[in-house]
Amino acid sequence: MEHKHTYDAQGKQLCCTEEGKIYTKAGAKELLQEDGCCTAKHTKHAGHSHDDGHNHDHTEAGNPFKMFLPPVISLALLLLAISFDHYFTPAWFTGWIRTAWYVIAYVPVGFPVIKEAFESIRNGEFFSEFLLMVIATVGAFGIGEYPEAVAVMLFYAVGEVFQTLAVTRAKANIKSLLDQRPDEVTILVGDAMQTIKAEEAKIGDIIQLKAGEKLGLDGELVSDTASFNTAALTGESKPDTKVKGNAVLAGMINLNTVSRVKVTTAYTDSKLSKILELVQNATTQKAPTELFIRKFARIYTPIVVFLAVFIAFLPYFFVKDYLFSTWLYRALVFLVISCPCALVISIPLGYFGGIGAASRNGILFKGSNFLDAIATVQNIVMDKTGTMTEGVFSVQEVVFDKQFDEKEILQMVNALESQSTHPVATAIHEFIGKTDTSIKLENVTEIPGLGLQATVNGKNLLVGNFKLMDAFSIPYGINPDSIVYTLIAVAYGDTFVGYLTIADVIKEDALETIGKLKALKVKTTMLSGDKSTVVRFVAGKLGIPDSFGDLLPEDKVNKIKEIKAKNETVAFVGDGVNDAPVVALSHVGIAMGGLGSDATIETADIVIQDDKPSKIPMAIRIGKETKKIVWQNIALAFVVKAVVLILGAGGLATMWEAVFADVGVALLAILNAVRIQRMKF
C-alpha cells in the first residue's frame, strides 16, 4: 500500500510523520487510524488491534529498555570518543579510525531516522522532520563536526523516547476504559455452566457473575438483588444496588454474592461499546489550534529548508572572507533549531491529555474541538427534569373535597394510572401502593397531553392536568398557577374531586453547580416543558436568573436562537433525545444520562456519565486548562526557536544550542502537556 501525506479541505493532515511514529511506538496507533494515518510506513511496527476494543500491542512501548538501548549505545561511544579527543588522546584515534568510531556511534540513533526520511521521500513526502535531521547531521559529518553530528541525533532520539513515554502515559488514562470488557463470560446452559467468548453470547442468555467479576454485556438482573461497582462507567466508586428487573451494564463489577443477568443487548451494541468507540474516535475531531499547526507545519518545513540553503550560499555574494564550511555549519544549526517537533507532538498530546483527564472524571468529549469550545462558552442553558432534578417524581400531598371517600378515589386513580408508563403514573402508584384488582375499568382512553379517562361503576373518571378538566367543562374553583408543584387533577361523575401535588427532587449538587458556573462568569438559563410556576420555583431555589416553562421543543429552539443572536456562545444541557433540536443548534451539546439513552451518547458533543450537574463546570475548567497548556507550548516553542534561529543565522549559536531549541523545547512542552493528567478538577 502506498503511503502518502494528504490533507483535507480544512488543512487536516490525513497522514502523519513524527506524530504517527510516536503514537505508533506508544501503542496508540488506533487513535490515528481515523485520520488515515500510518498505513504502510508504521503499520509494520504496530501491534494487532481487534474490534473488541482491546489493544494487544507488541510495540516498543511495552519495553522501555529496548527503547533506550540505541541511545545508550550511542551515548557510551560518543563519551569515549570525546574523552579520546580531549583527555586520553591515544595515537591510534586519528584518521579513518576516528571517523569510523563516530559513524558507528551515529548509526544506532541515526539509521532509523535516515530510513524514515528515505521512506517519506519514496512515498511522495519530500519535506519532513526526518529529512531536516538527516541533512543537519550528515552535513555536520561533511564539515568534520563529528561530535556535534552524533550529539544532535542522539538527543533527537532521546527526545523521541520521552515523547513516546509521554504519549503512553497519556493513553493509560483512556486505555483503562478500553480494557473494561472481559473477553469471556460464563452462561447458564440447562443446569450446567459454560464459559464462552463474550461476543458469542446471545440475547436471552443468562450470565452468572461471581463476586468480583466484571459484566461483559448489557442485561437485566435476574437475581433478587445485587450490588455493583459502576466506576468504569460513571467514575463513581460508590456501590450501586440493583434489584430484580433493573438494567445492568457492561463494565459493572459484581461486589458481593453470585448474581445472574439476562443478556438484553448484543456485545457490539452495549453501552460500554458505544463509550469505547466515542473515546477511540475522540482524537480524530481536531481543535482549530491543531488544524492550524498541521497546516503551518506543511508550509513551514519546505520554507526552512530553502532558508538554510540561502544561509549557506547567499553570503558568498555579500561577505568578503566567505568560508563555505562556516556558513554551511550555520545553515545546519538553523535546520536543527527549526525542526517543528515541539509543536507537532506536544499540541495533540495536550488535547489528548485533556480528553484523558476528562474521561477519568466521567466526562466524555467527542473531540478536542469541543475542549476548545467549552472553554469559551458564555451561556449554559439547561433542561430541568433529569438535568437539575432527579427526574424521579413523588406525591407531596392529596387535596380532595371532603364529600368524597379519599381512599376509594385514590384506589380508582391507582387502577387507572396502572394503564400508563409515565413517570407521574409511577409516582402515584408508588404512593398509593398495590393496585385493587376488583376495580373494573371500562372504556380506558389516553388523551395525549391531557391525561386518562375511564368509566368506573358507570361514572366518568378523569385523571390528568387541569387542561383535561377544561376539555370536559368541569369547574374546579382553584387557580392552578398559584401552586408551585405539578398538579394531577381528578374528577369523578363529572364533578371535580381535587388534586394531587407531585414534585421532583432537586439534585444534591445542583446548587453547587450554579455557584461554580457564576464563579466562571458563565450565564445560566433554565428551559423546560414543565409548568412555569414549577420551573420558576426550581430556578429560584438554585439561583438561576432566567427561567422559562410550558415550552414545546420549538420554543426551546427559539430561546437558543435569541441567545445566539447576541453573538454569544451557548451550550445546552439535556437528558434525552427530545432535546435533540436544541442540542444540534447549540455550539456545544451536553448530555446528562449517559447511561440512559443510546441516542444521547450518539448525538451529544459531551456526555456526562454519572448525571451529576457539577461535572458541567468541571468540563469547562478542563477545557480552559487544556487550552492554556496548549498555548503555553506554542509560545514556548516559537519564542525559544525564534531567538536561537536569529543567533544561529548570525553564527552566535552552535549545534548544542540548536539541540536545546529543538529537543529541549520539545521535552519541556511535553512535560507541560502531561501536567493536565495530574490536575485535580
Positions marked catalytic: 383
Query: In 10 A of CB 500, how many CB atoms?
Result: 24
Whether residue 610 contacts residue 362, with contact meaning beta carbons closer than 8 Å, is answered with: yes
Alpha helices in 57-145 (DSSP H): 64-83, 95-122, 129-142
Q: How far apart are CA 601 and CA 624, in angstroms?
A: 23
| Angle, CA 626 vertex, CA 621 and CA 630 arms, to 5° | 150
According to DSSP, the residues that pair with 527 across neighbouring strands are 548
**For residue 370, what are the contacts with CB-CB under 8 A and spacing of at least 6?**
285, 588, 605, 606, 623
- Give Cα 163 distance to the centre of its chain: 21
Q: How far apart are CA 564 and CA 98, in angstroms?
A: 70
Backbone dihedral angles phi then psi of residue 396, each to the nearest 5 degrees: -95, -45
Q: Which long-range contacts (CB under 8 A, 24 or more apart) does 138-142 make?
A: 139/328, 139/331, 139/332, 139/335, 140/329, 140/332, 140/655, 141/102, 141/103, 141/106, 142/328
Cell 463546570, located at residue: 617
Classify residue 445 as exposed, middle or buried by CB count within 10 Å of its CB (0-12, 13-18, 19+): exposed
- Name the grid cell of 7: 490533507
Question: CA dihedral in degrees (213, 214, 218, 220; nearest 10)?
Answer: 30
- Give Cα 445 distance to the centre of its chain: 46
- Name the grid cell of 381: 442553558
| Angle, CA 324 vertex, CA 319 and CA 330 arms, to 5° | 85
Helix (H) or strand (E) holding 30: none
Q: How far apart are CA 52 and CA 273, in angstroms?
A: 8
